[in-house]
Amino acid sequence: MILTLKEAQVIDENITQNDLDAYEQMVRQLTSNNFQNKNIRFFKLLFEGTNKILLGSSVLGLRVGDTIQVSESRYNDGLFVVSEVGNDYIECESANFFNLEVKEAFITKIEYPADIKQGVESLIKYQKKMGGKVGIKSESIARMSTTYYDVNANDNSQGFPAAKMDFLKKYEKMRWG
Q: State percent of the chain over pLDDT 90.
A: 68
Could you give all domains of the chain from N- to C-terminal order, each with its CATH number?
5-33+113-171 (no CATH), 36-110 (2.40.30.180)
Q: What pLDDT shows up at residue 69? A: 96
pLDDT at residue 152 tops 60: no
State pTM to two decimals.
0.81
SS3 5: helix
